[in-house]
Amino acid sequence: MTDWRDDLPDVRGKLLLDQPLAPYTWFRVGGPADALFLPKDEDDLAAFLKALPEEVPVHFMGVASNSIIRDGGIEGVTIRLMGGYWGSVEPTGSHSLFARAGALDLAVAKASAKHGISGLTFLSGIPGSIGGAVRTNAGCYGRELKDVANQIEGITRSGEKVRFEAEIAQYGDPKIDFSYRHSNFPDDVIVTGILLTGSGDGDPDALQAEIADHQARRAETQPIKDKTGGSTFANPDPPGTPDARSSWKLVDAAGCRGLRVGGAQVSEKHCNFLINTEDATAADIEALGELVRARVLDVTGVDLRWEIRRIGRIQTKV
Ligand SMILES: Cc1cc2nc3c(=O)[nH]c(=O)nc-3n(C[C@H](O)[C@H](O)[C@H](O)COP(=O)(O)OP(=O)(O)OC[C@H]3O[C@@H](n4cnc5c(N)ncnc54)[C@H](O)[C@@H]3O)c2cc1C
């Protein structure tokens, strides 16, 4: 039987077969990608997608700070836009920046401070890539990506370059619908770059201080030094709901703080975070999440929804 991987298109970046993905994830778990593509630049990516047979599944990942990659690995081609070319962040005027998709949110926040652009420092609280932030409408401290996203560039599964004129996108925008920690950005488009707009009245030192303050608050309240995936469950009520319920309070009320399955544990510091204490598998982490959901449902009647994306094949035991 022929392997679809024998006929992969030529690339200028790297194309790695059976590449372990765990080292690329925050949880440090998960199996290999059938093929991992690290494109050199946009043209390399577009040409590859154009030439790749349409039946080959394609998945996108950033730094997997919001993902559990299952132990059986990911079928098809996984594409990751990190490092070098993909990490650039450049000012495009007095109050906007263009960031390529692999730029870390923290790097975008730091660049905004350097150039005196206010309104973007909230990104320093999010440990993902700016491409991942589009998909998850990442946010904190009262701001979200939708408040600052102006134009989003991407490449479709068939290799066509596209641009979304989002203006300052709002909930309900007909082109890209952003909602709490989610967007309906098309599944078959990989984000390659984003124009972010703040305002040009910022003092670089004050903006740097804002970043330091956000980071100190994070370190105090979240297990950021652990192997984790951020908030596990979405809060059940939309933002702005009076008396909104928090997932962490429900998890705590169900007695799950510190609960363990194998090497996975509910964080003692923040119980909406699951952590890999040492040698957890993806299956341990997912099973722990499901156990927490079942207990919360039993005790509080609330059916929590996973905020973390789970992707890949479940490993079958032999
Ligand atoms: C300690 C910790 C704290 C966190 N705090 C916050 C917080 O305060 N607020 C918050 O919103 N999130 C938070 N998160 C979650 C996470 O950082 C965000 O969801 C982040 O935006 C995910 O980015 P990523 O690059 O890690 O994406 P991944 O986890 O790699 O992927 C997430 C989704 O984005 C898609 N994706 C990734 N890159 C692209 C691309 N280039 N084009 C198209 N789709 C793409 C993936 O296919 C997937 O569907 C936290 C996580 C951790 C570990």
**Cα 230 to averaged position of ligand 1 atoms, centre (Å):** 9
Task: Please report, to the nearest 10 degrees, the dihedral formed by the alpha carbons of residues 69, 237, 122, 164 taken in order.
Answer: 70
Q: Which protein residues are within 6 Å of ligand 1, measured from CB?
A: 26, 60-67, 81, 101, 125-129, 131-133, 135-136, 138-140, 181, 190-191, 222, 224, 228-230, 309
Between CA 62 and CA 81 the distance in angstroms is 7
Integer CA distances (angstroms), 252 to 111, 255, 271, 300, in order: 38, 5, 7, 11
Tens-digit pLDDT profile for residues 53-88: 999 999 999 999 999 999 999 999 999 999 899 999
The best mutation among 29, 79, 80, 136 to test binding of ligand 1, ranked by most ligand atoms within 8 Å of the C-beta, falls on 136
Between CA 296 and CA 53 the distance in angstroms is 44
pTM for this structure? 0.94
**Cα 200 to averaged position of ligand 1 atoms, centre (Å):** 27
pLDDT for residue 168 is more than 70: no
> Which CATH number applies to 227-311?
3.90.78.10
**pLDDT, average across residues 30-37:** 98
Q: Where are the domains of the chain?
A: 4-80, 89-221, 227-311
Same CATH fold assignment for domains 4-80 and 89-221 = no
**b/e map 229-238, b = 16+ CB within 10 Å:** bbbbbbbbee
Q: Would you place residue 43 in the very low, low, confident or very high pLDDT band (cuts 50, 70, 90)?
A: very high
Q: Give φ, ψ of 287 to 5 degrees.
A: -65, -40
Between CA 43 and CA 50 the distance in angstroms is 10
Task: Write the residue with the smallest CA distance to atom 6 of ligand 1.
Answer: 126
Burial group, residue 145, by CB count within 10 angstroms (0-12, 13-18, 19+): buried
**The domain over range 4-80 is classified in CATH as 3.30.43.10:** yes
Tens-digit pLDDT profile for residues 128-164: 999 999 999 999 998 999 999 989 999 999 999 998 8
Other C-beta atoms within 10 Å of 14: how many? 12
Q: What CATH number does domain 89-221 carry, 3.30.465.10, 3.40.190.10, 3.30.365.10, 3.40.50.300?
A: 3.30.465.10
